[in-house]
Chain A
Amino acid sequence: MDVRGAGQARAERRMLESEAKALLATFGISVPRGISASDPHEASARSRGLRFPVVAKVLSPDLLHKTDVGAVTLGLQSPEMVEQASAQMLRSVREHLPGARIEGVLVEEAVPPGVEVLVGVIDDEVFGKLLGFGLGGVYAEAYGDVGFRALPLRPWDIEELLEDVRGARVLREFRGRTPNREGLTRLLLRLAGADGLVTRLGEALVELELNPIVVGEREVVVLDAKLAVTEGSLKP
């Protein structure tokens, strides 16, 4: 991979997952219902309004792979478990990455299973911003079943992109269920279409990756979002 000057030419700020998801939501892109909190106690209290089971994650601009440092806990059945898990995760992160800036905890409702996909943006030196779409979510790199298109995407670009991947069949039918393909198309348009998020951010966007996006029968939800912007843009 030849990535030139990533982050060198301009100072960049990696958004917190909560901030990235809030931004996606303003563009009509679905994210899990959740709350963020500064400490385990607040996380527990604020999680009472959510539907259980929930997922808890550590909020930090410095964690690239949360699972590796014990920064994600699934299947929490009660606010008490949220508090315990949050405290445990903070200890774990401090142990694995002592210098990491910890901003708090994100607690989200669990999302029903569906087809997992990865969506990300690269800036090609000849063709500019390209959207990558791959099957397999967190396994996308292993499958290598990915397609690219230049922004902005037109409606037929998305149709063709979804058919381009070798595993296109799973997007038509998955284990006897029909994934919400229209919902996925809408998401991609809102993200990378003519007036979508990527176009609106313009030069302020340094990096974007949504992985995985879960394409269910009804909802199409972004489970994890990594977004980096230039320093000074989009202050939280």
Chain B
Amino acid sequence: MKTGLDALFHPETVAVVGASGDRANLATLRLRHLREFGYPGRLYAIHDTASDIDGVPAVRAVEDIPGGVDYVYVALPAAQVEAFLARCRGHVRFAQVTSSGFSEVGNRDMEGRLVRAAREAGIRLVGPNCIGLYCPKGGLTFVDRAPREPGRIAFASQSGGFATDLIRRGKVRGLRFSKVVSFGNAADIALNDFLEDFAEDPGTEIVGSYIERVGDGARFLDALRRLLPAKPVVLIRGGSTAQGMRSAASHTGAMATVERRWEGICRQAGVLTAETFEEFMNVLVALHHANGRAGRRLLLVGPGGGASVLAADACDRRGFELVPLSAKARGALRDLGMGAGTGLVNPLDLPVRAMARKDGRVVADVLDAVLEHERFDIVLIHLNLPNFLIYMTDGEAVVARIVETLCTYARPGVQLALAFRSSGEPDIEAMKYEQRERATAAGIPVFDSVEEALGAYQKIVDFGTVWQERRRIAGLLPAEAS
């Protein structure tokens, strides 16, 4: 289904202005990114004299491009942008203006003139003061080495840096995106426009956003209502912007900090929220690799010792139930040879040597032994990677086999997740990187610690509970009351 922003994310013709023939700058960089990414449409550089820039055909002006341009990437000094847009009249659908020096530094009038110029030229404006668009299906990118495969997550951000980090760090964690847009000052096209697009886009199933400021609150909440609960929304808010009150009762107003108001709004909207980049990414990782129920009954499998004790404490804090293993499960585990020197409780402690049995494949039998007799929502397996190298001769191969076994392990309805602990040393990091890539390719989310995994799943389980409760309450009401 086509939305108003379809030609923005899937342009047939793209032009980049601001490239210099001799010096590398943002525009030339962007041209290179688009070519390397394999943008399939017609790509042009706009330049006064050159006939091509790094192999991309160049024209003097936008009107020289036959058939018009869907998307112009503008990397000009702020003072030149208005005039450029005026010259584009009738030839351009969307312009993304990266230039800074507008309202973010107080030049509201200049930004207002920019918006008027765009309107008069019939152009929709993204930015100014932003970085770019990433849409694998459309062939667009603003980050090099970005994944070519499209995914199901759409992300809209006021911060270009955040968007860049999310693509690059997300790549390593298995995150794949349908669309990522850095929209900067949002002088014209703003967050709400993107949220509405994400709601209509069948390719987007998960939505994330970094927000500092919202213009139209009613439209924002409406967009969220259209997305939720079918498409989970994860928000992270940068709280630097003031948000006033037109009026306030005395004590209520004194307690109404911006944080508290936003917290209430977010809880009411039923979104997932994160306070740090890492939390945000962990929640997306958990959502993206959802392969089970994500409820509170949790089986923790780990190396034993203090780490397991702390992990169990974390489960308690976060509302997860470490359901004890039934007698049948314990019996089955003992039959496997587990039990001597390992506690047959939940958390299930499997020292490295125990996990290494059957060349690392015993983990499937262990899971079968438990899951055959007990219902669990989440199985979190915690591997302390350095231990495998310290206590075995072929530890790396054993880890690989454990991961391989888990990649093919199927137990419908159970969410399988991994936590890889690393010492940070290069060989361990390399092992972590390789095994994480294999696991996420098989749809298993990998976290850097048990704590981070639990933090993400707690939010997701709470999200599920909230919406389930709302459905229940709504079900008890007559139809017209909702």
Contacts and interface: CB of A to CB of B under 8 A. Distances in A.
A147 interface: yes
B24 interface: no
Contacts of B214: 126
Interface string B448-470: 00000000000000000010011
A181 to B, nearest CB: 14
Interface in A138-167: 140-141, 144, 146-150, 154-157, 159-161, 164
Contacts of B242: 2
B252 interface: yes
Given A5-B246, A148-B264, A160 B466 contact: yes
Contacts of A115: none
A128 B13 CA distance: 42
B253 interface: yes
Contacts of B221: 127, 150
Interface string A121-141: 111111110101010000011
A212 to B, nearest CB: 10
Contact of B245 (A64, A122, A155, A164): A122
A6 interface: yes
Contacts of A126: 214-215, 217, 220, 243
B246 A123 contact: yes
A7 B474 CA distance: 39
B248 A146 contact: no
A168 B458 CA distance: 20
Interface stretch (B59-67, B129-137, B254-262): B254-262
B254 A1 contact: yes
Interface string A71-98: 0000000000000000000000000000
B107 interface: no
B252 A120 contact: yes
Nearest to A126: B217
A3 B473 contact: no
Contacts of B249: 120-122, 132, 207-209, 226
B267 interface: yes
B218 interface: yes
B268 interface: yes
Contacts, number: 136
B251 A122 contact: no
A147 B217 contact: no
Given A1-B248, A6-B248, A156 B474 contact: yes
Nearest to A119: B252
A44 interface: no
B327 interface: no
B92 to A, nearest CB: 32
Nearest to A227: B249
Interface residues of B, number: 36
Contacts of B261: 122, 124, 127, 130, 148
B256 A121 contact: no
A128 B247 CA distance: 10
A128 B218 contact: yes
Query: Most A CB atoms within 10 A — which of B245, B249, B251, B261?
Result: B249
A36 interface: no
Interface size class of A (residues with CB under 8 A): 35 or more
A105 to B, nearest CB: 23
Contacts of B220: 126
Given A148-B264, A155-B473, A1 B466 contact: no
B255 A124 contact: no
B265 interface: yes
Contacts of A43: none
Nearest to A132: B252
A2 B245 contact: yes
Interface in B215-261: 215, 217-218, 220-221, 242-256, 260-261
B383 to A, nearest CB: 37
A209 B217 contact: no
Query: Most A CB atoms within 10 A — which of B217, B221, B246?
Result: B246
Contacts of A147: 260, 263-264, 267
Nearest to A134: B255
Given A1-B256, A122-B256, A130-B264, A211 B251 contact: yes
Nearest to A159: B473
B217 A122 contact: no
Given A1-B245, A125-B244, A154-B482, A132 B255 contact: yes
A235 interface: no
A119 B251 CA distance: 9
Given A156-B469, A156-B474, 6 more contacts: A2-B242, A120-B251, A125-B244, A126-B243, A148-B260, A208-B249
25 contacts: A1-B253, A1-B256, A2-B245, A4-B246, A120-B248, A120-B253, A123-B245, A123-B248, A124-B246, A125-B246, A127-B218, A128-B217, A128-B218, A130-B265, A132-B252, A134-B251, A144-B255, A149-B264, A149-B268, A156-B470, A157-B268, A160-B267, A160-B466, A207-B249, A226-B249
5 closest A-B pairs (Cβ-Cβ)? A120-B252, A148-B264, A209-B249, A120-B249, A126-B217
Interface of A: 1-7, 64, 118-128, 130, 132, 134, 140-141, 144, 146-150, 154-157, 159-161, 164, 206-209, 211, 226
Interface of B: 214-215, 217-218, 220-221, 242-256, 260-261, 263-265, 267-268, 466, 469-470, 473-474, 477, 481-482
